[in-house]
Amino acid sequence: MSKNSYYLMYRGWSDGDCFADEIYTEREAFHWLISNAVWQEKKEISIKGNPIILKRGQLSYAIRFMASAWGWHRSRVARYIEKLKKWQKIETNTETGQIIITLCNYNKYQDCKNIIKTRNETRARQERDKSETNNNTINTRINTININGDDCPEDVTPQTWQEFKELRKKKKAPVTNLVISRMRTQAQKANWSLEEAVQETVYRGWQSFNADWVEKKGMRNGYQGM
């Protein structure tokens, strides 16, 4: 099995996956160290059967394991670790028999992650607020339309309109433009005028008008009167 196959097995991928076999860059390897460091204040792990306490920003993996994870040769991992030490990116301790790596600026790296997270959360919140604002604007427009539906339509007599409003008031149903628009549509469907539809609604004690209702009563082709 190739060294890259070890890496793919570690990541939980199979040889038949769509991702190509690639080794880590040095930057990706350093990100791996950050991602696998302990974020709690203290964490107990077992190294060769011995309990070891890792502090925040520390990790402990064998050179062989990191080589397999990164797709590198073990000697390259060892040289890379030494390079990071020279650049004061990490400190190491091998007293336990296995290398313990301490990230020198772990809190700083975590702050960077938090900044990105905060930016993403802020962006999501702004999008959500924008959506809510748009919805509120739409609702306001709808409410404005509905509130002003009390005026008598030109094709309905004032007396019929007043009786209709009193009927709706008794039924605790406000008169809105939307109600009148739907009644007009149903009246046209029944081949009735709006005046006829409103009069029939008042006469029958209906809350509104529906073409199907008059069709079932055999009044489809003309207003029957009171």
- Report the pLDDT averaged over residues 42-47: 78
Q: Which helix (H) or strand (E) holds 55?
A: strand 50-55
Residue with tokens 């939980």: 12
Residue 2 pLDDT grade (very low, low, confident, very high; cuts 50, 70, 90): very low
State the pLDDT at residue 68.
Answer: 92
pLDDT score at 221:
44
* Per-residue model confidence (pLDDT) at position 78: 94
Q: Give the residue among 35, 39, 11, 34 at the shortest CA–CA distance from 23.
A: 11
CA distances from 106 to 27, 34, 117 (A): 15, 7, 17
Q: How many helices (H) and strands (E) does the chain have?
A: 9, 5
